Structure 1
Amino acid sequence: MSQDSVNSFGAKDTLKVGDQSYEVYRVDAVEGSATLPYSLKVLLENLLRTEDGANITAEQIKALGGWDENADPDIEIQFTPARVIMQDFTGVPCIVDLATMREAVKDLGGQPDKVNPLSPAELVIDHSVQIDVFGRRDAFERNVDFEYQRNGERYQFLRWGQGAFADFKVVPPGTGIVHQVNIEHLARVVMSREVGGVQQAYPDTCVGTDSHTTMENGLGVLGWGVGGIEAEAAMLGQPVSMLIPRVVGFKLSGEIPAGVTATDVVLTVTEMLRKHGVVGKFVEFHGEGVASIPLANRATIGNMSPEFGSTCAIFPIDDVTLDYLRLTGRSDKQVELVEAYAKEQGMWHDPSRELRFSEQLELDLSTVVPSIAGPKRPQDRILLSDAKESFRKVLPDYAADPEVDVIGRDNGSFPASDPSAPDSDPAAGIKAPAKTGDGSDRPHKVVTVKRDDTTFDIDHGIVSIASITSCTNTSNPSVMLAAGLLAKKASEKGLKVKPWVKTSMAPGSKVVTEYYEKAGLWPALEDLGYHLVGYGCTTCIGNSGPLPDDISAAVNDNDLAVTSVLSGNRNFEGRINPDVKMNYLASPPLVVAYALAGTMDFDFESEALGQDKDGNDVYLKDIWPSADEVQSTIDSSIDREMFTAQYADVFAGDERWTSLDTPEGNTFAWDDQSTYVRKPPYFEGMTMELTPVEDISGARVLAKLGDSVTTDHISPAGAIKVDSPAGKYLAEHGVDRKDFNSYGSRRGNHEVMIRGTFANIRLRNQLLDGVEGGFTRNFLDGGEQTTIFEASEAYQQAGIPLVVLAGKEYGSGSSRDWAAKGTRLLGVKAVIAESYERIHRSNLIGMGVLPLQYPEGQNAESLGLDGTETFEITGVTELNEGKTPKTLHVAATKADGSTVEFDAVLRIDTPGERDYYLNDGILQYVLRSLVRA
């Protein structure tokens, strides 16, 4: 990463720490810097160090120093991240594209081995483990074996990349979750690197191919999730083009009360910030209360940034940061550098310092109460005390049959085999109105399940999955040990998890396993079915694995609305498991509690979880560990040596990894028979000269979508169904159904991914009435219903461009490159939406798709668009002349010849984005730049 700053502000200086001298760029050389928020000081240093007089100019630096906190963002800057981090789902296509670029560079007359990451790039394989086996001692080993069987081709490819590309490292499978490995080991907080023969120190800034990269914000590391295509560009030395953002100051006061977890705090913060509106803004925490927030809690809050929509959610550096760095095994030299650098640059948190913020919020931590969120969005917080009532209120939206197969009980909970429900009689086939004895309405549909020599009854609302998973909480010892202690107390009292609950424990790093071992908590967790199933991002991304066959059959045969409870950050519809309609986020100890309750239709205050060995009722309060218990367990079971031992050889891998048969050479030997890794078509026919962009004419609508359509609805994810276009493709290529694997594991094969784009089972395409899934109408065939992919094929063969119509917050959710890549490869030339999520809008441009926005206050309905129209979009050609018009003219012609016309806002927000669009995408732009260089 060459840094040759023009240094027009005279900011270059020397910082001595111990015996080492570092070259630094002082932010106080710029007028106005003293009162900038921490996050903008980091950006300011970035500009000072990378100032080249062309892309990064003195004017940008002055504008940042003189930032007007009250203004709307309109000043473009170029931010150069210090490093890039990836997970394997999004990282594989990144490395596939880099491998393809090596060949394309060769075809254009360049040298292929010049295509390398110019900034450190690290990939953690954590998204591929699936919970096939659970509730038994060998679950971890068997799941890892399955993982290698399914993903051997991908892992061979990544091992090739690790050897072929300079400055690229891979953390092998079975090690941990990317964001947890990042904060526990990979994050530097302050970078130290030799540049031009001198040692340079500068803030650690890091973009990642997963939206929860923001977890590092808890350490004071500025970074966020970008699309895989942006990450590739950053790896290749391209700055991230951005507007100087508004910064929301979030003042913290008070302390977290006993009985309240970090999860409760983060769900409260998420609700507050989503309600306030922080999309596209930085959020920065400050105030006296910051010092009382443990680093793990800060990381949990940072992790949830995508859920409230901000670009980042950052905590400045302070003593808490240093203590965490020491605990997790960072060297004394590194800790000293972090402290000295932060204090020298005015980046050390000082609650008394008055900083400029665009907007202000405040939370008194003492007011936070236990909470969960659901059933389909992380910002929909529910007080735990209101959870049963809330569940009953929304259940009719998910339960298709309002009739019941059993009389309601006085307490309104169900399993008929439970002694607390004496008046149930499923065998009698009694039908009764959907009304419980306590006067609350809720649908019931009781189904008897026979397993081995026992039977039990399940109903709408059972907890079918109770999973401790996701870096959001598994990185946090306070909630993880609380879960273990609660399990121990429950086990001692003889409580058992209900037989229909699929339990799983998927920690974010091996350190968790070690401190559970040291605290003596594994036996109790395993007694309740919480055996180790893997180190990876499992349930939270849909790798929950299948429900037990008998439960799955009962759920599907009777259309039961069942629930999952997980300690993750995402609970969107259709994400967790195809059998599960309602998903709730909760702290790890509450996950265990819900596994014991067995149903969401439960009030922890008034209902017993079961009986102890003496027949006494046991309530949640009886087994909830105190704050003192949790803290003393942390103090006695976690130490620095755990981290240093577990991360000593983190890139080496086990015997499975080292024994992979890996190809060699500086270009990849593509296998034409591979259904996992295929050479993508992005550079086919590409020349060094630009092809002028054109207006869009005769376009048809591929999909008309409503509000809050997420990248989970757009991007291929989860299991591949046998009757889907992707399933048919795999079958045609000789892949057995049992080996289909998931979309995530096949992200390196564009043919599979195109067929899974817009194919989520919960997608509602308004071109069709009452139909969910990846379907549309083909207007070349009289408007007949067909799959999105088959319609796209027909339109592309006929040379007809496509558009997508959408509502508010289009593309919210994870930063997924395939949501944009798939859109492009389906032949979509433009998206017209009411508003966009930041990353997805950027990714669309990066793939050469125009993001347009309806005029303020307008949408498809108000304009009378039903999606049957033919679209003309004019004014695009102005981009060829170096202009970026504010609006493009849209004319939509209906079947009767009438026309709807409007001026759509062109959401190409920066000159850099215009360059990417003119090059037909960011990769083409980078490739041409590399060849010219």
Structure 2
Amino acid sequence: MASLDSFKCRRELDVDGNSYVYFDLKEAEKNGLEGVSRLPASLKVLLENLLRNEDGTTVTRSDIEAMAKWVQERKSTTEIAYRPARVLMQDFTGVPAVVDLAAMRDAVKQLGGDPESINPQVPVDLVIDHSLMVDVFGSDDAFKRNVEREYERNGERYKFLKWGASAFDNFRVVPPGTGICHQVNLEYLAQTVWTKEENGQTIAYPDTLVGTDSHTTMVNGLSVLGWGVGGIEAEAAMLGQPVSMLIPEVIGFRLTGKLPEGATATDLVLMVVQMLREKGVVGKFVEFFGEGLDHLSLADEATIANMAPEYGATCGFFPIDNETLNYLADTGRDPARVKLVEAYAKAQGLYRPEYEVDPVFTDTLELDLSQVVPSLAGPKRPQDRVALDNAADAFAMTLHEEFDKMASAHKRAKVEGEEYSIGHGDVVIAAITSCTNTSNPSVMLGAGLLARNALKRGLKVKPWVKTSLAPGSQVVTDYLAKAGLQDDLDALGFQLVGYGCTTCIGNSGPLPEKISKAIKEGDLVATSVLSGNRNFEGRISPDVRANYLASPPLVVAYAIAGSMNVDLYNDPIGYDEENEPVFLKEIWPSNQEIQDAVRTAVTPEMFASRYADVFKGDDIWAGIEVKGGQTYDWDMTSTYIQNPPYFEGMSMQAAAPESVSNARILGLFGDSITTDHISPAGSIKADSPAGSYLQGHQVAPRDFNSYGSRRGNHEVMMRGTFANIRIKNRMFDGLEGGFTKKWPAGEKADIYHAAMDYKAEDTPLVIIGGKEYGTGSSRDWAAKGTRLLGVQAVIAQSFERIHRSNLIGMGVLPLQFEGTGWEELNMTGDETVSVSGIETLKPRELLDVTITFPDGRTETVKARARIDTENELEYYRNGGILHYVLRRLAAG
């Protein structure tokens, strides 16, 4: 797409004889965008995106000028259309997107078009990393056995994804057992400056992305602007559609000084999370600056960027600097790309050492790195930092205040068949896991050095601890082996269990039965220590009630100590063979030891070798047989993958949307109904509509798996929509669960079956909500499920921005009560609702909503259509974003 180039900034950049077209921010400033050189680097990336994609419709001159106004006002109310360079997916959230692409190919074929016209319009990489479970641990064959079980559980999904990799252009799949999507992105996929061929020229522009995982933000450590989005937004970006977003506020975070002896990047990020949560940065960008960056490795910066969701920001961005170039070179990137990154960044005023003055920020805060101390975070939130020297006392307070167990603080429960007992605070899971830390050689090698030093003193892991090592990439294994430290970790029980998200996302696997039994019978507050980014209550293990985030060396230390009650600053971590006390400070490696290990053990050749055949996979992956060619050969008996009905009866010309007439209310909800309430999530209950469906297809409850694993089957997911056990339909007095009244009899029924009965009767449906409808994570099935249940409109007092957008993306009309709400109207859910004027709808138009009460009385109120732009209106008129794109691609 050619830019209108209103600010005459299209230029050519020569790098070692290679010519690149780029949109010059300095020229744009000279030609009318006064002051944009003072923008934060992250907003310069957005400005370049607008300049390059200016088309007069989705991106206008006034949109671009709003970026210049930001410099004066330091905030903006302008909504812009942002087009990321690429999309990153993991397997849980990626499967539904590929299902939709496959369904679009079938639909195009039915319309007489070419199925191969349906392809991602931007590069998409899907990394299979979320399905590994730690079933086997503490043995040399743990990795092999866990991967085999992973394939057994997920065979249908993997077969489908492998078909997608062969069927679609611009779509690649990284097979299981390779690494975590964020670490693969950081170490291989990301380029910092992206290029593409267009009309015989090479265009250079910042590498940007959106991902279907909230920790997509990790790659901001490599100066790649990206964040997590929901499935519908990701599909839109994948199909070449812009992501709508407000120009964000940017909080500048100045770093000074350097980390002291004994402090790690994990300790730093836990302090950053705590500070930014206290500051309040939800919906904002955070950008790091200051001389302290000179003393951080890029892996340290990636650790901080990874946890942007934990501190609440959209992203935590680090500008391009010398360390960026060094990391690109050290991880085996093409030398020509490294030279381009340097030349491009300097030409655009994006290179940190050459800033003439600090950028302008909405607000700032500051941290002296020398003040960072060893820390953990817990027992259930990442922002609840606890200094290590206070950890034991803090747990005692938690035991009292959170769990009311102070009276039984010293209680022990016998472990069946063993000579030991366990008590409150005992560590039953010690996991080096997740992308947060395993991308960082300093903490991984630090863990290995601590293990070596502990073994020299004769220390062992306590027998009740489930240990695991799940690195984010295979390179970690290489440098641990080269340093000779994997043997030391193995000797303590930290054998490799797999490459992928494990304990951090709840895939910790079951505890040994005798440990689980002792915890339950003793009603114990057992603990976990993990090097991940999430420790929410109930997330890590059903047997573990207190969870602590920590650096990998501290994970090893707590596995040896065996309890949160041990004060690692003052108490012995254990005893040697002569029964002499051993203290943590005696075995903790020095910063210099760690730096020496990193320098000698981590080489560019490791990255080049591991990523040379990153899409090949292992022998099991190679043995998966794929059915289908251009279109997928759907298995009608599958309970994981099904062809969704979005495009049934679709024609090339979109029919005008019709007004809603005498609709029944499927749900009447109060304020702050979240996407977690709406969207299917977690385990599937045997007596639920989804459970009944699976049992009807000969799936035993023990094999239900989760809603997340079955996102590719709309039959399961629509049965789980509005079925949350805590949701309250206000038609009933305080009743929790997915129920509604089915008219004309007004009988209680579960929402799914009532919706299907209404559909059979050709009765339209609406949802009525209060304030902040659809808050929380951007869950695509909250909108997809709403659409498949037959809901035509959601009428609420206010909407969360992303869910509002997702509803439009699925062809559901969001309407906002104007000056009133359903409670003021004394609605009970027994009414019928009509909405007029939809046929000639304009963005943000006020429409008449007529409510007919059971006694025949009517009242007409105003509601504003929360279709805010012409682009959104086009999506809605077409029945949703997928229909809009499908028609455009089918028409050629």
Tell me how far 1:138 sits from its aligned partner. Answer: 0.5
Instruction: Map 1:530-679; keep pairs closer than 5 Å.
Output: 530-556=494-520, 559-679=523-643
**Is 1:846–2:809 an aligned residue pair?**
yes
Residue number in structure 2 paired with 1:4: 2
**Is 1:929–2:888 an aligned residue pair?**
yes
Counterpart code for 2:439: S
Residues 793-819 of structure 1: CA deviation (Å, up to 9, x unaligned):
677677574647577796435x54334
Quote the Cα distance in structure 2 between the aligned partners of 1:610 and 1:197: 67
Tell me how far 1:255 sits from its aligned partner. Answer: 1.6
Residue number in structure 1 paired with 2:361: 357
Instruction: Map 1:463-862; keep pairs closer than 5 Å.
Output: 463-556=427-520, 559-687=523-651, 688-692=653-657, 694=659, 697-701=663-667, 711=676, 715-717=679-681, 720=684, 722=686, 724-757=688-721, 763=726, 775-780=737-742, 799=763, 801=765, 803=767, 811-813=775-777, 815-826=778-789, 839-849=802-812
The answer to whether the Cα contact below 8 Å between 1:133 and 1:139 also exists between their aligned partners in 2 is yes
Quote the Cα distance in structure 1 between the aligned partners of 2:329 and 2:363: 34
Residue number in structure 1 paired with 2:843: 883
**Is 1:134–2:137 an aligned residue pair?**
yes
Equivalent of residue 379 in structure 1, options 383, 397, 409 = 383
Distance 1:574 1:913, change over 3 A: farther
Quote the Cα distance in structure 2 between the aligned partners of 1:563 and 1:897: 59
Quote the Cα distance in structure 2 between the aligned partners of 1:64 and 1:459: 58
Instruction: Classify the secondary structure of the residue corresponding to 2:471.
Output: coil
Tell me how far 1:706 sits from its aligned partner. Answer: 6.1
Counterpart code for 1:692: P
The answer to whether the Cα contact below 8 Å between 2:311 and 2:383 also exists between their aligned partners in 1 is yes
Residue number in structure 1 paired with 2:292: 289
Quote the Cα distance in structure 2 between the aligned partners of 1:363 and 1:519: 33
Quote the Cα distance in structure 2 between the aligned partners of 1:850 and 1:598: 55
Quote the Cα distance in structure 2 between the aligned partners of 1:865 and 1:133: 58
Quote the Cα distance in structure 1 between the aligned partners of 2:856 and 2:559: 59
Residues 777-832 of structure 1: CA deviation (Å, up to 9, x unaligned):
4444999998765676677677574647577796435x543344345445566678
**TM-score normalised by L of structure 2:** 0.90
Instruction: Map 1:181-200; keep pairs closer than 5 Å.
Output: 181-200=184-203
Instruction: Classify the secondary structure of the residue corresponding to 1:376.
Output: coil
Distance 1:838 1:391, change over 3 A: farther
Quote the Cα distance in structure 1 between the aligned partners of 2:271 and 2:733: 35
Instruction: Map 1:317-356; keep pairs closer than 5 Å.
Output: 317-349=320-352, 350=354, 352-356=356-360
Instruction: Map 1:95-106; keep pairs closer than 5 Å.
Output: 95-106=98-109
Moved more, 190-199 or 329-338: 190-199
Tell me how far 1:16 sits from its aligned partner. Answer: 0.6
Tell me how far 1:512 sits from its aligned partner. Answer: 0.4
Counterpart code for 1:262: A
Quote the Cα distance in structure 2 between the aligned partners of 1:866 and 1:569: 45
The answer to whether the Cα contact below 8 Å between 1:864 and 1:900 also exists between their aligned partners in 2 is no
Equivalent of residue 261 in structure 1, options 261, 264, 268 = 264
Quote the Cα distance in structure 2 between the aligned partners of 1:899 and 1:735: 48
Quote the Cα distance in structure 2 between the aligned partners of 1:104 and 1:89: 24
Equivalent of residue 160 in structure 2, options 152, 157, 178 = 157
The answer to whether the Cα contact below 8 Å between 1:574 and 1:760 also exists between their aligned partners in 2 is no
Quote the Cα distance in structure 2 between the aligned partners of 1:137 and 1:743: 32
Quote the Cα distance in structure 2 between the aligned partners of 1:246 and 1:323: 30
List alignment gaps of at least 5 residues for structure 2. Answer: none
Instruction: Map 1:165-184; keep pairs closer than 5 Å.
Output: 165-184=168-187
Residues 311-366 of structure 1: CA deviation (Å, up to 9, x unaligned):
22111101010010011001111100100010011111145423222222222222
Instruction: Map 1:357-436; keep pairs closer than 5 Å.
Output: 357-395=361-399, 399=403, 434-435=406-407
Distance 1:842 1:525, change over 3 A: farther
Counterpart code for 1:382: V
Tell me how far 1:510 sits from its aligned partner. Answer: 0.4
Residues 467-518 of structure 1: CA deviation (Å, up to 9, x unaligned):
1111111111122122222222223323332333222111000000111111
Residue number in structure 1 paired with 2:414: 448
Distance 1:94 1:71, change over 3 A: same
Tell me how far 1:635 sits from its aligned partner. Answer: 1.1
**TM-score normalised by L of structure 1:** 0.86
Quote the Cα distance in structure 1 between the aligned partners of 2:415 and 2:146: 27
Quote the Cα distance in structure 2 between the aligned partners of 1:304 and 1:247: 17
Counterpart code for 1:846: G
Quote the Cα distance in structure 2 between the aligned partners of 1:924 and 1:724: 31
Tell me how far 1:902 sits from its aligned partner. Answer: 9.9
The answer to whether the Cα contact below 8 Å between 1:463 and 1:594 also exists between their aligned partners in 2 is yes
The answer to whether the Cα contact below 8 Å between 1:776 and 1:785 also exists between their aligned partners in 2 is no
Quote the Cα distance in structure 1 between the aligned partners of 2:733 and 2:542: 19
Quote the Cα distance in structure 1 between the aligned partners of 2:119 and 2:362: 39
Counterpart code for 2:321: D
Moved more, 838-847 or 504-513: 838-847
Instruction: Classify the secondary structure of the residue corresponding to 2:228.
Output: coil
- Aligned-residue sequence identity (percent) comes to 55
Residues 8-51 of structure 1: CA deviation (Å, up to 9, x unaligned):
32212111100211111211222222112111211222222222
Counterpart code for 1:632: D
Quote the Cα distance in structure 2 between the aligned partners of 1:500 and 1:581: 16
Residue number in structure 2 paired with 1:409: none
Residue number in structure 2 paired with 1:35: 38
**Is 1:205–2:170 an aligned residue pair?**
no
Quote the Cα distance in structure 1 between the aligned partners of 2:313 and 2:126: 24
Tell me how far 1:534 sits from its aligned partner. Answer: 0.6
Quote the Cα distance in structure 2 between the aligned partners of 1:235 and 1:574: 34
**Is 1:78–2:81 an aligned residue pair?**
yes
Counterpart code for 1:504: S
Quote the Cα distance in structure 2 between the aligned partners of 1:87 and 1:360: 34
Residues 36-84 of structure 1: CA deviation (Å, up to 9, x unaligned):
2111211222222222233222232233234355365322322221111
Distance 1:727 1:312, change over 3 A: same
Instruction: Classify the secondary structure of the residue corresponding to 1:256.
Output: coil
Counterpart code for 1:923: L
Instruction: Classify the secondary structure of the residue corresponding to 1:67.
Output: helix
Distance 1:142 1:596, change over 3 A: same
Instruction: Classify the secondary structure of the residue corresponding to 1:118.
Output: coil
Quote the Cα distance in structure 2 between the aligned partners of 1:750 and 1:205: 31
The answer to whether the Cα contact below 8 Å between 2:87 and 2:238 also exists between their aligned partners in 1 is yes
Counterpart code for 2:428: S
Residue number in structure 1 paired with 2:66: 63
Moved more, 315-324 or 838-847: 838-847
Quote the Cα distance in structure 2 between the aligned partners of 1:347 and 1:388: 45
**Is 1:280–2:283 an aligned residue pair?**
yes
Counterpart code for 1:18: D
Moved more, 190-199 or 389-398: 389-398
Tell me how far 1:112 sits from its aligned partner. Answer: 1.6
Moved more, 368-377 or 325-334: 368-377
Quote the Cα distance in structure 2 between the aligned partners of 1:380 and 1:879: 52
Counterpart code for 1:502: K
